[in-house]
């Protein structure tokens, strides 16, 4: 049996109001005129609807009481023209509001992306942000997200304005009641139905919310049953690329995924589980609600008829007042539903608000980075230990190493031995848990973060190129030096491919996300572009994490033979599995299980026959000899 899903914790009214206030404040910051325009639209639409009712009542009253046709005709035409003009204005207004909502929803999304783009990298990876992103995704309400807040907010406003309108128009009706009549009885009945109706709405709402929540706050167990999670796996997150899903096809994984989606979701177990939820089981309350609605309608008409019987109420007024009362009844229950929906919709935005309010945890430093024309930088790791956020295991333990500019340092070791982690710490994507990293004797935390980041050019294993122009990718900027872009591309071995791009050349778009003319590139070509981008940055440190893994042997040899030239007087750190490609480095650091176990030149390390390096080298040598 499925484990019970958690219900949303009940919040005090004050907290709901606070949430609504926070969301409204954010909406105002996105577009100041949005709320005022909505107020105008709601006022106008209410005026038009009551205007129509008043006009009809007037016409009926005049017909019943004898009338001059020409005069009445003129007034009707005038009234209809005014109402239709008002309708047109409302149409234009609503269209503007719709477009504004769309634009605001886009800016809202952009705000989140901008926040994620600018926050500490270590936070992106943290369990807290993971949970927050998950919540935001679930609470996005199948994409309706902030739109639900717009709709519900407008719904509440509209209902309130309509109730006020109905009261104002309905006031004269009460003058028809005599003191001694039984009009109050109808009034009591009307109020009773009204409150019961509202009560029922509240009851149903909380039941429905429980049911609703089941789909929106799934337990880990339930996630297996929800199609979007499983298909995510198939396509690699929401933003699927056509390249993803290859493995699904090759290994025919469709069946196993289907097992966890349709078969389970539509299976008896899930159905039985779902139907027992109170939200679904409360079908009986629909019956009561219908009865209450009919009773309240009878109440509304009864009151008006009573009033009419007491005085001489014209037929048009009778219909108008009955409509007002019925409207009041409907809108009163609606204001409750829309209000509750609004509080839920606002609550569903709290995840995003929390994300937007997150502040960076990493100390950003204040010390200006010394810009040395001689590039004399000396780096030292002193007893550094580090665990990834949320992880129990040390990725790097008591790590110490020194190197200075101009050196070629190679880092080798088995998968998972902490090589990439060391690079990430050096670039301050994370801060060590223990120990310190020094540049020219100063703890790197003290340097201004933005200036410090300029010291490094990195090609990560999982580098990303963007669906932008080739030149913009290389310069990582909208402004670029064409000559330099071409030179870097040539140094990275992309020259030949560039020629094939034809006229557009470095202005060609990568991938087809924004243009059908975008170019597709192979894994090796992409790696060359990533290397070209690292060269373009002209940073004193070049860090290459498995830079040639996707390159063919010829391209690899070309890169390495060029590399001394490319790296020039810069410090280069290479991470590589292929020990043969590290031989040219001045110093080789050997990692094993998060620790630095050996350092030295290739010859020195080989001499230590029982060492990790020798065993890795021998294993690879055998492999190459066999090949």
Q: Which is nearer to ligand ADP, 386 or 480 (CB)?
A: 386
Q: Which is nearer to ligand ADP, 104 or 589 (CB)?
A: 589
Cβ atoms of residues 478 and 472 within 8 Å: yes
Distance of alpha carbon 417 from alpha carbon 595, whole angstroms: 7
Among positions 225, 388, 480, 560, the unique one binding ligand ADP when judged by CB under 6 A: 388
Question: Could you give the dihedral angle defined by the CA atoms of residues 111, 36, 332 and 349, in that order, rounded to the nearest 10 degrees?
Answer: 10
Stretch that binds ligand ADP, among 197-205, 211-219, 417-425, 463-471 (CB under 6 A): 417-425
Q: Which is nearer to ligand ADP, 34 or 541 (CB)?
A: 541
* Interaction between residue 392 and ligand ADP (CB under 6 A): no
Q: Which is nearer to ligand ADP, 277 or 424 (CB)?
A: 424
* Interaction between residue 416 and ligand ADP (CB under 6 A): yes
Q: Which is nearer to ligand ADP, 373 or 415 (CB)?
A: 415
Among positions 69, 237, 415, 478, the unique one binding ligand ADP when judged by CB under 6 A: 415
Distance of alpha carbon 447 from alpha carbon 11, whole angstroms: 44
Distance of alpha carbon 274 from alpha carbon 2, whole angstroms: 10
Give, in degrees to the nearest 5, the angle at Cα 458 between 457 and 464: 120
* Interaction between residue 431 and ligand ADP (CB under 6 A): no
Q: Copy the structure tokens of residue 521.
A: 């590139």
Q: Which is nearer to ligand ADP, 23 or 395 (CB)?
A: 395
Stretch that binds ligand ADP, among 51-59, 166-174, 419-427, 450-458 (CB under 6 A): 419-427
Cβ atoms of residues 411 and 543 within 8 Å: no
* Interaction between residue 218 and ligand ADP (CB under 6 A): no
Q: Which is nearer to ligand ADP, 3 or 462 (CB)?
A: 462
Q: Copy the structure tokens of residue 126.
A: 């943290």
* Interaction between residue 395 and ligand ADP (CB under 6 A): yes
Distance of alpha carbon 446 from alpha carbon 253, whole angstroms: 50
Give, in degrees to the nearest 5, the angle at Cα 126 between 121 and 130: 110
Scanning residues 434 to 473, which ones bind ligand ADP (CB under 6 A)?
A: none
Please work out the total of residues on this chain that contact ligand ADP, with binding judged by CB under 6 A. Answer: 12
Backbone φ and ψ for 295, nearest 5 degrees, come out as -60, -45
To ligand ADP, the closest distance from the beta carbon of 591 in angstroms equals 6
Based on C-alpha coordinates, what's the Rg of the chain? 35
* Interaction between residue 420 and ligand ADP (CB under 6 A): yes
* Interaction between residue 176 and ligand ADP (CB under 6 A): no
* Interaction between residue 391 and ligand ADP (CB under 6 A): yes
Distance of alpha carbon 154 from alpha carbon 338, whole angstroms: 9
Distance of alpha carbon 277 from alpha carbon 286, whole angstroms: 16
Q: Which is nearer to ligand ADP, 413 or 493 (CB)?
A: 413
Stretch that binds ligand ADP, among 36-44, 74-82, 418-426, 470-478 (CB under 6 A): 418-426
* Interaction between residue 417 and ligand ADP (CB under 6 A): yes
Burial of 310 per CB tally in 10 Å (0-12, 13-18, 19+): middle
Among positions 397, 419, 570, 587, the unique one binding ligand ADP when judged by CB under 6 A: 419
Among positions 24, 115, 124, 125, the unique one binding ligand ADP when judged by CB under 6 A: 125
Distance of alpha carbon 54 from alpha carbon 18, whole angstroms: 39
Q: In 10 A of CB 141, how many CB atoms?
A: 17
Stretch that binds ligand ADP, among 48-56, 362-370, 410-418, 597-605 (CB under 6 A): 410-418
Backbone φ and ψ for 357, nearest 5 degrees, come out as -90, -5
Which residues contribute to the site for ligand ADP (CB under 6 A)?
Answer: 125, 388, 391, 395, 413, 415-421
């Amino acid at each position: 049996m499925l484990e019970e899903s958690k219900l949303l914790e009940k919040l005090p009214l004050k907290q709901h109001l606070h949430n609504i206030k926070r969301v409204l404040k954010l909406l105002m910051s996105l577009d100041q005129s949005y709320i005022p325009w909505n107020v105008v639209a709601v006022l106008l639409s209410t005026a038009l609807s009551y205007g129509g009712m008043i006009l009809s009542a007037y016409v009926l009253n005049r017909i019943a009481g004898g009338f001059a046709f020409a005069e009445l005709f003129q007034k009707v035409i005038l009234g209809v023209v005014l109402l239709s003009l008002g309708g047109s204005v409302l149409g234009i207004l609503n269209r503007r509001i719709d477009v504004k909502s769309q634009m605001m929803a886009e800016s809202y999304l952009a705000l989140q992306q901008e926040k994620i783009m600018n926050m500490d990298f270590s936070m992106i990876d943290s369990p807290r942000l993971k949970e927050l992103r998950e919540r935001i995704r679930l609470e996005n309400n199948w994409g309706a997200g902030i739109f639900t807040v717009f709709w519900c907010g407008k719904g509440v406003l509209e209902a309130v304005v309509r109730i006020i309108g109905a009261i104002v128009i309905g006031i004269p009706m009460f003058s028809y009641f005599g003191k001694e009549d039984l009009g109050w009885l109808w009034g009591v009945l009307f109020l009773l139905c009204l409150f019961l109706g509202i009560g029922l709405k509240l009851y149903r709402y909380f039941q429905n919310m429980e049911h609703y929540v089941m789909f929106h706050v799934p337990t880990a167990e339930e996630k297996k049953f929800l199609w979007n999670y499983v298909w995510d796996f198939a396509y690699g997150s929401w933003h699927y690329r056509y390249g993803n899903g290859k493995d699904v096809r090759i290994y025919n994984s469709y069946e196993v995924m289907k097992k966890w989606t349709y078969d389970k979701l539509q299976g008896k177990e899930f159905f039985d589980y779902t139907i027992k939820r109170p939200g679904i089981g409360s079908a009986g309350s629909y019956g009561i609600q219908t009865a209450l609605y009919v009773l309240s309608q009878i109440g509304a008409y009864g009151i008006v008829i009573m009033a009419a019987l007491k005085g001489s109420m014209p037929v048009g007024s009778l219909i108008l007042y009955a409509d007002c009362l019925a409207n009041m009844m409907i809108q009163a229950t609606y204001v409750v539903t829309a209000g509750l929906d609004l509080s839920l919709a606002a609550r569903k935005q709290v995840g995003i608000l929390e994300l937007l309010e997150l502040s960076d945890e990493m100390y950003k430093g204040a010390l200006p980075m010394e810009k040395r024309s001689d590039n004399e930088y000396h780096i030292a790791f002193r007893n550094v230990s580090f665990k990834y956020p949320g992880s129990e295991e040390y990725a790097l333990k008591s790590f110490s190493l020194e190197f200075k500019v101009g050196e070629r340092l190679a880092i080798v070791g088995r998968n998972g031995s902490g090589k990439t982690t060391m690079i990430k710490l050096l670039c301050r994507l994370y801060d060590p848990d223990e120990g310190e990293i020094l540049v020219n004797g100063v703890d790197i935390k003290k340097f201004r973060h933005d200036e410090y980041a300029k010291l490094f050019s990195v090609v990560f294993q999982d580098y990303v190129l963007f669906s932008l122009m080739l030149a913009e990718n290389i310069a990582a900027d909208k402004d670029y030096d064409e000559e330099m872009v071409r030179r870097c591309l040539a140094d990275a071995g992309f020259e030949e491919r560039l020629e094939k791009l034809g006229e557009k050349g470095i202005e060609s778009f990568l991938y087809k996300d924004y243009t059908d003319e975008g170019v597709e590139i192979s894994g090796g070509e992409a790696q060359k572009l990533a290397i070209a981008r690292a060269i373009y940055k002209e940073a004193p440190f070049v860090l290459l994490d498995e830079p040639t893994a996707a390159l063919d042997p010829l391209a690899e040899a070309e890169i390495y033979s060029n590399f001394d030239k490319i790296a020039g007087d810069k410090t280069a750190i290479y991470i590589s599995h292929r020990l043969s490609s590290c031989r040219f480095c001045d110093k080789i650091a050997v990692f094993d299980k998060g620790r630095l176990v050996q350092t030295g030149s290739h010859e020195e390390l080989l001499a230590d026959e029982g060492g990790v390096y020798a065993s890795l080298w021998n294993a690879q040598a055998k492999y190459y000899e066999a090949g």
